A and B are shown apart, each in its own frame.
Chain A
Amino acid sequence: MSSTPIRVTVNGVERELEVAPNATLLDFVRDRLQLTGTKECCDLGECGACTVLVDGRAVNSCLMLAVEADTRDVTTIEGLVENGRPNALQDAFLDKGAVQCGFCIPGQVMAAQYLLRRNPHPTLAEVREGLSGNLCRCGGYVQICEAVLAASEAAT
């Protein structure tokens, strides 16, 4: 199986690499780029732990082949940092006690980031809908939703 060259911008940095066609974007980000903030869990697009932004849209990176990211703009959790500090949404997560074991958190933050960019002032129902693709077994949904609402309020 031959490698395929791709040119992809990751967290603002353009990379030119060769990837195997059967590598997922998740594999690529974690194993090739060592950006291990994005997590692997169900590998089926059911849990959302692997959520990244591609051209501004939240997607499950386990369901994208790395080759499909050619010419695309990818943002991972590591790309949200502002001047080395957590952004307002990440701060809200900490403030509201939304972080328990933390494994689902990068995916939750990316999904929430996407939600807020499209809908800066969501209702609680819209927040729940927007995060319905992100599982949390620690059960911290209430605090996670509160954090997203708090971040949206702070943004006014």
Chain B
Amino acid sequence: MQPFSYARPATLAEAFVLLDEHGDDACMLAGGTDVVVALRNRTLRPKVVIDLKRVAELQPAITEAGPWLTITATTTLAEIDEDQRIRAHHPALIDAAATVGSAQIRNRATLTGNICHASPAADTAPALLAYGAIVHLASARGTRRVDLEEFFVGPRKTVLQRGELVTAIGLPVAAERRGATFARITRRRGVDLATISLCCIVESAGRTVLAYGAVGPRPFVVADESGLLADPSAGEEAKDEVLRHLLTNASPISDVRGSREYREAMLLVMSRRALRQSIERLEAA
């Protein structure tokens, strides 16, 4: 790694001062599982690394307030895995988070870091999108909320402005029952990046939400409002037609993990399976 300065703000106000001052010369550090790799590979060459882990307002916490579960920026994937409320309300997110790296990675990696890194293949993104997650942003000039769907702009690009950081991710706690499935394809059963990933949620009211990763410049979410996908008695061919239509939003590429053709085929195969499983889980709920 080439040399850099290290700053460890104790409050959000201090963090904003540093971010405003340094702009693109700074990079933020939470879990480090993406940032430190980038520093080592020199794809990131900041003058200043701003460690957010001691910022008082960002300490790890998962809080329930009304219809929201709010996960602060420094909360790790391990802490999420250990949280019973998320397990109860957002089980697909637990499943997705469990696929991110190994136990060692999850003890450090943060949910916020995963979305800020904005890899098109971020494993937590499809589940977060399907659950309707929102992102809380803050800067010296105030706060704002953004739907996760809009948060991602493109590969490794988010809507974060200069001087702005993510303070928390909010997950709506649904009143109605639903069945949720996270699924992905990898090159090996062991720890791996996803060739494709997806999350399927079937709601008791009949709506089906599908979110996908690694098949386009950003993770995306689509929905079937017609109720056909959620209908256990609807035929496979009819469902395929709806799925195919929804999947026109995907634009997979060929890379070392898989070819475009394989990804396209797997989108359909895995969507069908996830849908079936979500319907079963809804019935069991």
Contacts and interface: CB of A to CB of B under 8 A. Distances in A.
Q: Are A and B interaction partners?
A: yes
Interface of A: 1-2, 4, 20-22, 24, 43-46, 48, 51, 54, 57-60, 62-65, 67-68, 111, 114-115, 129-130, 132-134
Contacts of B102: 45, 48, 132-134
Contact of B6 (A4, A57, A62): A4
Interface of B: 1-6, 8, 29, 32-33, 36-37, 39-40, 49, 51, 53, 78, 101-105, 107-108, 190-191
B77 to A, nearest CB: 12
Contacts of B108: 59-60, 63-64
B104 to A, nearest CB: 5
B53 to A, nearest CB: 7
Contact of B104 (A2, A58, A68): A58
Contact of A21 (B4, B37, B107): B4
A22 B4 contact: yes
Contact of B105 (A43, A115, A133): A133
Nearest to B49: A21
Given A63-B37, A132-B103, 6 more contacts: A2-B5, A22-B2, A45-B101, A48-B104, A63-B32, A132-B190
B3 A45 contact: no
B191 A133 contact: yes
Nearest to A22: B1
Given A21-B5, A51-B104, A114-B103, A67 B36 contact: no
A44 B37 contact: yes
A62 B190 CA distance: 20
B32 A22 contact: no
B52 to A, nearest CB: 11
Given A1-B3, A20-B3, A63-B32, A43 B40 contact: yes
Nearest to A135: B190
A68 B32 contact: yes
23 contacts: A1-B5, A4-B6, A22-B4, A44-B40, A45-B37, A48-B104, A57-B78, A59-B104, A59-B107, A59-B108, A60-B33, A60-B108, A62-B36, A63-B36, A63-B108, A64-B32, A64-B36, A65-B6, A67-B6, A68-B53, A132-B190, A133-B191, A134-B102
Contacts of B107: 54, 57-59
Contacts of B105: 45, 60, 63, 133
Nearest to B1: A22
A24, A45, A54, A111 — most chain B CB neighbours (10 Å)? A45
B103 A24 contact: no
A133 B33 CA distance: 13
A100 to B, nearest CB: 19
